[in-house]
Amino acid sequence: MYRKVLAAVNEHLNSEVAARYAMHLARAAGAKLFLYSVRQPGQTEAAFELARDAAQRLQHRAREIDIDAECLFETGDPVEKIRAIVLAEGIDLVFTATRREDVKHRIIRGGTTARRLLPGLPCSVALVRVVHMGRTHPREILVALKKQIDHIPERSEFTALLAKAFEARVHLFHVTRPVKKFFHGEMHLTPVEWEEKVPPDMSRFI
């Protein structure tokens, strides 16, 4: 499913960490990795040089572990440039680092590149919030599942590839509402009863 993966790299360390997630997933999928850095208007030469160094460092590491990796550098609006290369190269998945504010607000209203990428790209986008800089190899992956899930094949493959890339265990998490009985009020299902009532979308994901 994933043949080409792009990681957006800037001068900040969290983007390099996010790109390492992209690198490991690309390896697990046998995909080509694009390391893409865009110099924004007003960005200093020193800042862009940090981004360039990070991309080249990642490319070197990717090639050491037999990943076909390519560095690309542009000048302009990051979202517009990333959209252009996604269309030109047929990118399947874009990785970008996100900040706490992006996750907290959840509503995409412009502002950061990560927020603007979600509605602006014709491909899937993986937002990586870096909490611990030293923990770049997750061993436990928690997947929260809703009753209704869209894009099930891709979501399940993405999860499986991450688990494969890091040799991690996957934990599926779903919250059910208690069953209401007229005389007995709320009643919680036992694990066996819950298993019999697993929503169809969740069964397909599993």
46-51, Cβ contacts within 8 angstroms, sequence gap of 24 or more: 47/11, 48/11, 50/11, 51/9, 51/10, 51/11, 51/15
Which helix H or strand E contains 202, and what residues bound it? helix 200-205
The per-residue pLDDT for 190 is 67
Write the Ramachandran bin of 102: left for phi over 0, alpha for psi from -120 to 50, otherwise beta. Answer: alpha
The per-residue pLDDT for 180 is 56
Taking only the tens place, the pLDDT of each residue in 105-150 is: 444 444 566 666 667 788 999 999 887 766 668 889 999 888 788 8
Which residues, other chains included, contact 180 with Cβ-Cβ below 8 Å and sequence gap of 6+? 186, 187
The per-residue pLDDT for 63 is 97
Say if residues 56 and 18 touch (Cβ distance below 8 Å). no
Total-model pTM: 0.82
Integer Cα distance of 7 and 174 in angstroms? 30
Q: Where are the domains of the chain?
A: 4-136, 138-206
Residues in the chain with pLDDT values less than 50: 102-110, 182
Say if residues 95 and 128 touch (Cβ distance below 8 Å). yes
Strand 93-98, strand 124-129: pairing: parallel
Residue 70 pairs in a beta bridge with 34
The per-residue pLDDT for 110 is 47
Task: Domain 4-136: give its CATH code.
Answer: 3.40.50.620
The per-residue pLDDT for 200 is 81
The per-residue pLDDT for 103 is 45
The per-residue pLDDT for 158 is 95
